[in-house]
């Protein structure tokens, strides 16, 4: 016996059209994003630009220890799910990111300046003046 059935191509086209689940493919990103940093040097010091999109300036911390600069930031997840809603996919990263790097010369942390605008942290890091060698006279 043959099992023949008649199919309407329009039925296939519209089947599930209005209730089709959202499919994003396999692009799950569970790794922390890398903080992108540009460092420039001039005679007075260093200019650092670090991309921190979506961060708030109060969640960013910069630590200077001699020639070593450390930048860390944390994005906290806001759980705002209303009644009747359900989360289909979350690809934004929530958590901590950090980056440390060593410059060629000590930084004068007392004169360092940090600004945060449009997701970019801008650091102006003056070089610390090298201590002048002093020759002692022997009495």
Extents of the domains making up the chain: 31-76+95-128
Enumerate the β-bridge partners of residue 115: 122
pLDDT digits (tens), the chain, 139 positions: 566 666 666 565 555 555 445 444 555 555 667 889 999 999 999 999 999 988 899 999 999 999 999 999 988 877 777 777 887 777 777 788 999 999 999 999 999 999 999 999 999 999 998 766 677 788 7
Closest CA relative to residue 42, chosen from 124, 118, 114: 124
How is domain 31-76+95-128 classified at the architecture level of CATH? Sandwich (2.60)
């Amino acid at each position: 016996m043959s099992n023949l059935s008649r199919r309407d191509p329009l039925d296939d086209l519209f089947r599930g059209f209005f209730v089709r689940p959202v499919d994003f493919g396999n692009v799950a990103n569970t790794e922390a994003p890398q903080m992108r940093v540009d460092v420039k040097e001039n005679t007075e010091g260093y200019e650092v630009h670090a991309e921190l999109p979506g961060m708030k300036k109060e969640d960013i911390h910069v630590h200077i220890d001699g020639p070593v600069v450390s930048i860390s930031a944390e994005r906290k997840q806001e759980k705002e799910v209303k009644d009747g809603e359900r989360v289909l996919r979350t690809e934004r990263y929530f958590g901590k990111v950090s980056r440390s790097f060593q410059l060629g010369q000590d930084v004068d942390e007392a004169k360092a300046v940090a600004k945060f605008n449009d997701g970019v942290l801008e650091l102006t890091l003056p070089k610390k003046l090298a201590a002048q060698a002093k020759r002692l006279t022997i009495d």
